[in-house]
Structures are given as structure tokens and as C-alpha cells.
Amino acid sequence: MLKLNVKNETSRLRAVVLGTAESNGPTPKIEDCYDPKSIEHIKAGTYPKEKDMILEMNAVEAVFKKYDIKVYRPEVIKNCNQIFSRDIAFVIEDKIIEANILPHREEEVQAIDYIWNQVAEENRVILPEECHVEGGDVMPWNDYIFVGTYSGADYPELITARTNIDAVMALQELFPNKTVKSFELRKSNTNPKENALHLDCCFNPLGKGKAIIHKNGFLVEHEYEWLVNFFGKDNVFEISKEEMYEMNSNVFSISEDVIISEKNFTRLNTWLREQGFTVEEVPYAEIGKQEGLLRCTTLPLIRD
């Protein structure tokens, strides 16, 4: 049996699901894409190749092994993009919650059934059908659960809107002792620089009381200000529109003081080291072309 435990984003990681780029399939058709950044790269002829993405994910796996972390991988489905394991489920406390993700992606969820089945039945949660939620929008943070959402009337037309208010309410019912705090995110089907696909595309809490944030990712200014005040202005690293587009907020914490980051994030990585973090740099720029990075490809199961 797997005894799950995730209370926040930064406690020492012990077990994780890392997605896979194996048998990732051909470059998708534009009409089959889920985000504007992938479309941009398909049009430009720069969509990532399977072999390059496998190398990038192997680099992350090597870092996990170095820190003695148990790594699970999804079962490989032929010609299926299974890179973003954060989308398909998430863990809060001792519960694993299956994400209600976009149609056509149910297969990805089945690929981790062997992990799901190792969790005690009472700790496996499938939310009601009307609750749309993906793990990139959900961040357990001790007494809080931060959730990115979108409640605009055009929600159904926005393939980039992944988590709705029904899901926010369902999480509050599931964890009555926590404060579920939701944040309205800016969405665009067409412009990746104006689109926060998930909360972790414009915000990430770090160890040592620090955080990364991008103001324009938030639709409501006072919600952005709430977060800045919560962490304290001096503890927050503000990223530019270009850095958000490159996914600078989507790093991944192994512990309070160790962070995996993309090797090209020069400004961010310098700041992190100045704050006393150990930064494990990996190449992840090819994976970043699909509007997801390190946090998106990892699903933590156990943290101390």
C-alpha cells in the first residue's frame, strides 16, 4: 500500500510520478492542440521531437535518483502525449484526486492505474463530473489550498480554461479544515503570452518563504496583491511576460532548499542561489514548447 502525504509544495520529496515522452506520437494537428504555445511551434516547424524530450526527462529522473527519490512512470501508451503527469491527478494530504481533464485524455489517467490501485480505497477521490480540475491549478500550501480558476461566461469556448468554480467548492468540502483560496487567471486560446494555462504558469511558492509570480497572469489585481502580501514583497521574485512565456514560474521543489530549474533561466537561477537555494539545472526547453515545464511533468506522491 502507498501511504500518500503531500501538505505543501516544498517538503522533502520521497516519491513522485514523472511523465514520459516515450511513444509520444507524431507532431499533432493544430486543431488537436490544447494550448496556443504548441500551435505556435507547429506553425514554425519547431515542435519538439520525441528523442529530445526523452533526453530532457531523463535528466530530471537523474536528479531525482541523486536525491534518493522513488520515481514512478506512467505505463506507456502508443502514440500518446503522456508528458504532463500533473494534469491527470494530484495528491493533498493522504488523498489522491483524479483530475477531470479534457476529453480525449482519459487514457492518460488509466496509465497510472497501477499507482492509484496501491492507495487505500477511502483515499481515492473522483470528483463529480461537473467539477473540472487539473493538477497544475491546485497547490496545497499547509493550511491553504491555492487554486487557479476561471469563471468567465466564455469558459466553454476556452480550451485553456481547465479548472472551474465547482471544483473549487468540491475541494473545500473535501478539506474542511483548510482554506481554499481561488485566483482568477488570464486565458487566451490564441496568444501564449496572455495565457496562464494553470496557476503554476504564473505563480509558484518556494521554500524559505519565497515565491515566483507574474502579475499579468492574474485577472483580478487584489488577488495577485493578496499573494504578494502573503509571502511579503521582499520574498517574491516577479517575472516578466517573456519569462512567464518561457515558464520561469514552473520550477519544481525537491525540498525547502533544493529546486530543479531550467538551465536557461539565468536571472531566476541567479536569484535563487542568492537566496541560498541549491539549484539543480536541467535542459527542459523542448518540453517548455508545449506550455508546461518541471512542475507540470511531476506528480508528487509522498513528501516528508
Domains observed in the chain: 13-303 (3.75.10.10)
Look at residue 159 in the predicted model and tell me its pLDDT: 67
d(C-alpha 213, C-alpha 103), whole Å: 30
- The secondary structure of residue 11, as a DSSP letter, is S
Is residue 206 over pLDDT 70? yes
The kind and range of the H/E element at 99 are none
d(C-alpha 252, C-alpha 30), whole Å: 29
What are 103-116's pLDDT values in tens digits?
667 788 889 999 99
Whether the CA torsion 242, 212, 165, 220 is positive or negative: it is negative
What are 127-166's pLDDT values in tens digits?
988 898 989 999 999 999 999 998 877 766 776 677 899 9
The mean pLDDT of 19-33, rounded to a whole number, is 85
Q: CA triplet 296, 250, 42: central angle to 5 degrees?
A: 65
d(C-alpha 100, C-alpha 89), whole Å: 8
Is residue 220 over pLDDT 90? yes
Cell of 254: 525537491
pTM of the model: 0.93
